[in-house]
Amino acid sequence: MAPSANTLRMEFEVFLSFRGPDTRNTFTSCLYSDMVEKGIRVFKDDEEFRVGQKISGQLLRALADTQIYIPIFSKGFASSPWCLREVAHMVDCTSKSDGKKEILPIFFDVEPDDVKLKTNLYRDALSKHEKKYGSIEVKRWGDALVEVPTRAGWKLERKGYGELTKLIIRELLLKLKGKNRSLPDHLVETDDLKRVETLLDVDSNDHVRFLIIHGVGGIGKSTLASIIFNRFRSKFDCSSFLDDVPCQGLLDVQKKLLSDTLGSTSIDGIHDPNDGIDRIRRGLINKKVLVVVDNVDKKSQLDKLAGRCDWFGSGSRIIITIRDKNTLLDKGYQILPNNYLAYPMLEMPIDQAIQLFSRHAFRSDTPPEGCYNFSKEVVSSIGRLPLTLEVVGSRFANTIRSEWDETLEDLKQVPHRRVRKTLMMSIKRLDDIEKAIFLDIACFCIGEDKTYADYMWRSSGYSPRSAIDVLLLMSLIKIDEFNRFGCMMKFEI
């Protein structure tokens, strides 16, 4: 599903709450350092240095603007009124967040029953606070402790600090840095997915496997790779999706791969692609990784990002999307190296193509009564590439029924492999304001926050809301989970 355009980026991803004398210089220090190294935006509160009796200022803002709360429950945690205030505030913020926030506790040297006040450990600590803070406030703290979830989170038990920290970081990265790839609206699943899953065999750890997904532009290679990435990334030690490789500097792509898999500090001291190759090989040789290298158009790109099987740990899977698999063949050789598998993507079957067209044109899985034959004619005329079906279907959604025949005749004049021309036909149907706003987005606003563009247009006398709705409906633009603009295709304007 497409993310909401109203999703906002929180200032902090993780809020750590702990009692300083218990864990500051031991476990908490290790956990905090590893989080920072992995690029997690973390707020570490040390209650020992707090003064006063109310949460306010920077701390209040941090609590309100954090996605995941991690209280580290130790034997002395409940002896700190400040730690108890923070837990009460965490529970309150989480209950009002509509599922956007969560508490993941760490039971350091206590049991969940201690935190749930089923033993005397925390109960006795709370009773000692009543004289100074009053029974009402202390009851609020106690109620918050009881509300803390115990099914989620972690227990130290017999694990060492390093092992527990690794488990915590891995889960946090899945929730934060490893968020699912955004997928197109109205997605229709095809048999390609099952076939690729079989080829990947992600549960096998006996060797490294490369999978080349190849086919013409617009056929859905990147979308299929994104679905696979979302579904299986949790089975790997780390993962990275390298978008549209030719459109970025190769050194920047190497740094993204390293940052995603080894943490932000892994890119220090890398000055050229040869440094990047060396760091990738040394850093990932013992890690089971899932890497997608998207839209490769030169063999040299892959050589510098995932050049050989022995760069990665056993069980790793490297997925490459490319238009022509022959691009990856060495001169003089007509076969791919060992451990390389190729999967050709073809046009969608007619029934699934009609379903995808219907979802965009009619917002339903099947055409309305009396429209099936017309839909089949459209699909047969434009071809069965997912991108074409999405763009053309969205165009019909914005066309009155009396103009359908004329629109279809126009489409028949455009070869189905020329999706860009189809998009340009849609652009020509925009009115002057819609065209102006589209050109602004395509030329200046790709990757920019919609809010800032909105201010620009309004200061120039435009009211952009209806125009943006039209552009979204016609699939000419997209808005991602961070409220940033994107285009269906790259235009040369």
Catalytic residue set: 86
CA distance 93 to 106: 19
Q: Which of 335, 342, 300, 304 is nearest to 321 (CA)?
A: 342
Question: Residue 405 burial (CB < 10 Å; 0-12/13-18/19+)?
Answer: exposed
**Do the Cβ atoms of 75 and 5 come closer than 8 Å?**
no
CA 378 centroid distance within chain: 34
Which residue matches tokens 């050049």? 307
Q: What residues does 46 pair with on adjacent strands?
A: 18
Which residue matches tokens 């109203």? 6
CB within 8 Å of 356: residues ≥ 6 apart: 186, 188, 348, 386, 389, 390, 393
Q: What residues does 212 pair with on adjacent strands?
A: 320, 342
Nearest-5° Cα angle at 280, 279 to 281:
95
CB within 8 Å of 259: residues ≥ 6 apart: 39, 266, 267
Tokens coding 244: 């549209």
Nearest-5° Cα angle at 483, 482 to 489:
100
Residue 90: how many other CB atoms lie within 10 Å: 25
- Residue 439, classed as helix, strand or coil, is helix
Give the Å distances, CA to CA, from 5 to 46, 307, 485, 486, 489: 35, 38, 10, 12, 19
What phi-psi label fits residue 34: left (phi over 0), alpha (psi between -120 and 50 degrees) or beta? alpha
Q: What residues does 69 pair with on adjacent strands?
A: 15, 103
* 269 backbone dihedrals φ, ψ, rounded to 5°: 80, 10
